[in-house]
Amino acid sequence: MTVGELAGEYGKAGIGAAKMHEAVEVTGGMFADEDCTVFLSLAGAMVPTGMRRIVSDLIRDGYVDALVTTGANLTHDAIEAIGGKHHHGAEHAEGKTTREHDETLRDEEVDRIYNVYLPQEHFARFESHLRETVFPPLAEEGTVSIERFVRELGRANAEVNERDGVEEDPGVAAAAYESDVPVYCPAVQDSVLGLQAWMYSQTADFSLDALADMTPLTDLAYEADTAGCLLVGGGVPKNFTLQTMLVTPGAYDYGVQLTTDPESTGGLSGATLDEARSWGKLEKDASNATVVGDATITLPLLVAAARERVETDA
């Protein structure tokens, strides 16, 4: 059976399967609505754990109108774009404690993200990429928005990717640049990307305006005929995406979130979209669904099934 057919069968089951079926239905409706402005929120370690091409394809194929993500995802996206590589790794090593294993990785200059490894040499290459290709054009402009910064990053990533014949896809920022889709990164300082921007600003006429993106983002939401949000993970990207509707006369008509967090903690990452409705972030009659589970499992299934439905009916 196809992925879409599998998702259809999930509708005959219960617990998480039923939730996934519901999420596919809502996402398919959102993607099929030609008047819908779609906001994608991407938190967590989605890029280094293999979700990069899913997101870049969504952008290139016109399913996303704005992306809100973390500086970490943009950092790892750029590393892959310019020839760096993440590797499968182990979270434990035979005969060693977890601490001893990570101490060994430290000595070998390898960074670990659960079961994904990234040699530190790729960060050095990334930092050179920023200083040689990304920052100089921006320094000529002085203070720029974070969206402008990420747009220049996407341009540079695409340029180096093509010039060097990198096997990997040029990535999320490059797809957004080429498709004229804005990327917002409200907590860019909380990343190697933001750290390097700060370091560069100490010796160059360059700075980031953290408030400059608020107007275009709000305008995009304000002018939307209908609006939908696909929230992958929680944290700052999720809230930044949802809070935009607090200063518009409308609210989201569609909402789907993939999260690992329980709502019982009271934290935003696990907060239900029904709770968001109480704030006026979702319309009272909005179609919404929440799937609790590892997004590296749920996101590919959700996107494949929703796209199959839209593209089969087109």
Residues involved in catalysis: 281
Q: Which residues sit opposite 111 in a β-bridge?
A: 118
The DSSP symbol for 167 reads: S
Q: Which residues contact 181 (CB under 8 A, 6 or more apart)?
A: 59, 64, 65, 66, 67, 175
Residue the block writes with tokens 């030609």: 34
Residues 182 and 217: beta-carbon distance below 8 Å: yes
Strands 226-232 and 207-209 turn out to be: unpaired
The DSSP symbol for 42 reads: E
Residues 176 and 149: beta-carbon distance below 8 Å: no
- Kindly list the distances between the CA atom of residue 274 and the CA atoms of 17, 28, 151, 241, 277, in Å, as whole numbers in the listed order: 19, 20, 34, 16, 5
Q: In whole angstroms, what is the distance from residue 81 CA to residue 162 CA?
A: 9
